Amino acid sequence: MKNTPNQNIKPLTLNRNSDFCLEIGGCDMQNLAAKFGTPLYIYDEQTIRQIAKDYKNAFNNYPKVNMMYASKAFMVQSVAKLLDSEGFGFDLVSGGEIYTVLSAGLSIEKSVFNGSNKNYDEILLAIENNIGRISVDNFIEMAMVDLAAKSLDKKVNILLRITPGIECHTHEYIQTGHLDSKFGFDLTQIDEAIELINDEYENLVLKGLHAHIGSQIFETKVYYDEIEVLLKEIRRIKDKYDIELSEINIGGGLGIKYNQDDTPPSIYEMADVILKSIEDNTRKYGLEKPLIYIEPGRSIVGTSGVTLYTVGSSKQVPNGRKYVAVDGGMADNPRPSMYQAVYTADKVEEEKCEEKETVTIAGRFCESGDILIKDITLPKLNAGDLLCVYNTGAYGYSMSSNYNRVLKPAAVLVNNGQADIIVERETYEHLVSLDKIPERLNRYE
């Protein structure tokens, strides 16, 4: 079975040049640091495009598939343009994500608006711009979507998001398909939702069901089971209400390789299981093969991205760890402190036969939990050295903050020796641009 980039720790173009310095996309990382500063998010365009092509190719023999990039992983205008050029739509979960796609000059007509607590203005924005589908998560939202559609004199195609009762072996914060979840309708609530659509909500057109079973998934059988639950429910709805639902959204969630212990399946392995379940369960339940929506996010951009840091101070604890601090940390990558995520890294410039030591990479932020990597063995790190942390393309920038009033890093896209800014580094002027001082406070001067 063909290997796909989500099974690699490093981007496809990463290598060491003749000077033993790391390169990515044909760009020397020392030069990138000198030009753009650190911390710096770096995205390899070739890796993103290859993963996108693998997703399309893996389902090439099934004509009814819509690929939706899960924008929450990393959404900026350049990424939207890049993935649109690869034939992807977008799984959007906020007005901000919708606006980003629109501001890049793109349509959302083949995109899905998802999320557990959309507000009315976001729903209006989606409908005004002809969103392809809205995945409705709850009864209040269903009423809001109908009201917004009625105010615009439009019919809106919707999916019902359900919790299928499938629990995958991942961190509990990124499980979404088990029964005790904040997301979606419980299976016992589906009939009430359908009856409301039939009897009251004239502006809603139900097209299918949506489920999402989690993130960083390594076991392919959960996709088989998820599809069986969805198709069984579609058969039940057909028998009870004489409604032909023709679409299923199975989410995304395919895992990536953060470290040597991780063993994610390839995109092709996942596709084989999905297509087998479609084949088996449409036959079992006497249904036509549905249109499938698939929503990869982390597996599209995770492996393609790295973060470049500059080493600062170090501290040897007597009879304990040696801590090496870098100029970033939990504000540009909160996943280690939030999910106990494990990363790996390399020193950017290595000398032959360089002495190695085991250190813990600490962030610069005023929290004891600001640790990026525990107990990693690397060539000796000194102040001013550069460190490259792998697999930070997903949920780094998108979850970043200004904690301690530290500026958010820049992001660059690299390809064939060219590096282009896709997110400008914040300035102190950006940082205070929304601050306001009430006039009464000025009286105390």
Catalytic residue numbers read: 366
* Residues contacting residue 31 through CB under 8 Å, at least 6 positions apart: none
Provide the β-strand partners of residue 70. 91
DSSP class of residue 182?
Answer: S
Residues 209, 189: Cα–Cα separation, whole Å: 13
Residues 406, 427: Cα–Cα separation, whole Å: 10
Which residue type sits at 41?
A: Y
Cβ(112)–Cβ(132) under 8 Å? yes
Which of 203, 209, 204 lies closest to 184, judged by CA? 209
Residues 84, 74: Cα–Cα separation, whole Å: 14
Relative orientation angle of helices 221-241 and 267-285, to the nearest 10 degrees: 30
**Where are the alpha helices (H) located in 355-445, listed in sequence order?**
428-432, 439-442
DSSP class of residue 132?
Answer: S
Residue with tokens 């212990």: 261
Q: Cα 91 vs. chain centroid, distance in angstroms?
A: 10
Residues 153, 260: Cα–Cα separation, whole Å: 54
